[in-house]
Amino acid sequence: MKQSQLFYRTLKEFPKDEEAISAKMLVRAGYIDKLMAGVYQFLPLGLRVLQKIEQIIREEMNAVGGQEILMPALQPREIWEKTGRWDMDVLFRLKGAGEKDLALGPTHEETVTPLAQKIIFSYKDLPKAVYQIQTKFRNEPRAKSGLLRGREFRMKDLYSFHINQKDLDQYYEKVEQAYEKIWERLGLDKITVKTYASGGTFSKYSHEYQTLCATGEDTIYLCEKCHVAVNKELINEQKTCPECGNKKLVEKKAIEVGNIFKLGTKFSNAFNFKFVDEKNQEQPIIMGCYGLGPSRAMGTLAEVFNDDKGIIWPENVSPFKAHLINLKKDVKDAENLYNQLIKEGIDVLFDDREDASAGQKLSEADLIGITHRLVVSEKTGDKIEYKKRGEKEVKLMSDKEIIKLLK
């Protein structure tokens, strides 16, 4: 992609109406645009990052047997009355044609349960797991942290259906492992901790995945030996590490990037969703739900990986793999390299602009934060100046070496 053609504009300064550093950076660098508090539009750079995050999540959900579906945001009142959640604070309620009461989905247990009920009848139909990556709506009272807390935001929500508790427990563990892989692929594994939270009526614990971050909204209590934590709501009942009994838990700030929960029969009972077992007896379906916020994960990455110059994306989610910057008067040499990189299938943003100064181009590149920076200039002859965002070392490399590095 040529930068002269890219649909974006960077701002000279940080926007004044943003509090979170991630939102300041993402807006200033031309990733997202604020329509109103808690509601953002994704520009090409932003959508690329979001889609990379969502693709990683999708692959790991498919790997644990999740089947992708897509459920509607627009929903009838009746399903929310069945579960007693029509009056919940964050639910956006609206009137449809004919004065019909509608809601915008903040989560999808109310749609997925009756949907599965049309498909699952017997133990032979179980287990099943379905997920979607979709836009959610919540009327959050405080939406001041950019993508970290949206009123309209992206969520991956997986739901699983089982014949008994044991089967749910086994699947829950598989999903835990899938989540660990996702944090690793997003570059968040070293700072994301499995956090014990209360489990409701059906199981002792649920789990949140909390990314350690000094500006995070949540407070957790970390066991530095096990790298797990206890959340604030649970800490009065669970004062020691649930894994090793360690009494010394350290208070930390964090951002919740995921949340997994054993729902048991809560929703299957509400919809009277049963299956017939091997003895032809009716039994309630046992459910699990597993949430993860791709747009919040994107905000989290920008919140934790930055310096005073801009964002530092982990390679797997960088909007482009490389940022090629031409500082020569004649664009020809850089253009040749650009064409070579494209031919090799390397995703590159090419700063081909003639009306921008060298200083402007380099500081914009730091702000945008693409992982690999390539500079073609008069200074370097037929070599290319290579630098990785966030690192100091600059290397001179040939075309061939660059291609080898980036392929």
Query: Footprint of ligand ATP on this chain (CB under 6 A)?
Result: 107, 138, 140, 149-150, 153, 155, 256-259, 291-293, 295-296
Q: Give 208's strand partners.
A: 195, 259
**CA distances to 78, 337, 406 from 379, in Å:** 69, 17, 23
HSE-up (13 A, CA, CB side) for residue 222? 18
* Distance in Å, CB of 291 to ligand ATP, minimum: 3
Q: How far is the CB of 12 from ligand ATP (least distance, A)?
A: 28
Nearer to ligand ATP, 105 or 127 (CB): 105
Element of type H or E holding 54: helix 44-63
Nearer to ligand ATP, 187 or 349 (CB): 187
Q: Is the CB of 289 or the CB of 346 nearer to ligand ATP? A: 289
Tokens of 294: 């791709």
Pairwise CA distance, residues 165 & 149, whole Å: 33
* CA neighbor of 128 nearest in space, from 293, 290, 288, 292: 288
Helices (H), 64-191: 77-82, 109-117, 165-186
Alpha carbon distance, N-terminus to C-terminus of the chain: 17
Phi, psi torsion values for 294, nearest 5 degrees: -60, -40
> Which of residues 107 and 371 has its CB atom nearest to ligand ATP in the complex?
107
Residue 19: CB minimum distance to ligand ATP, A: 15
Least CB distance to ligand ATP at residue 243 (A): 21
Close Cβ partners of 117 (under 8 Å, ≥ 6 residues apart): 271, 273
64 vs 220, beta carbon nearer ligand ATP: 220
Question: Which CB, 20 or 322, lies closer to ligand ATP?
Answer: 20
**Closer to ligand ATP at the Cβ: 132 or 326?**
132
Q: Least distance (Å) from ligand ATP to the CB of residue 258?
A: 5
Q: How many whole angstroms separate alpha carbon 26 and alpha carbon 33? A: 8
Helical segments of 121-194, H only: 165-186
Which 8-state DSSP code applies to residue 184? H
Q: In angstroms, give the least distance from the CB of 257 to ligand ATP.
A: 5
Query: Cβ of residue 206: shortest distance to ligand ATP, in angstroms?
Result: 9
By C-beta, is 155 or 322 nearer to ligand ATP? 155
How far apart are alpha carbons 218 and 349 in whole angstroms? 36
- Cβ at position 90, least distance to ligand ATP in Å: 8
| CB neighbour class for 97 (10 Å; exposed up to 12, middle 13-18, buried from 19) | exposed
Closest separation in Å from C-beta 255 to ligand ATP:
8
Strand locations in 269-376, DSSP E?
Answer: 274-276, 282-284, 286-292, 306-307, 310-311, 322-326, 348-351, 372-376
Residue closer to ligand ATP (CB basis): 107 or 192: 107
Least gap, CB of 393 to ligand ATP (angstroms): 35
Comparing CB distances to ligand ATP, the nearer of 235 and 403 is 235
What letter represents residue 150's amino acid? G
As measured in angstroms, the least distance from the Cβ of 384 to ligand ATP is 39
181 vs 309, which CB is nearer to ligand ATP?
Answer: 181
Round the CA-based radius of gyration of the chain to a whole number and report it: 24
Give yes or no for a contact between 239 and 259, defined as CB atoms under 8 angstroms apart.
no
CA 378, chain centre distance (Å): 41
Contact by Cβ (8 Å): 227, 244: no
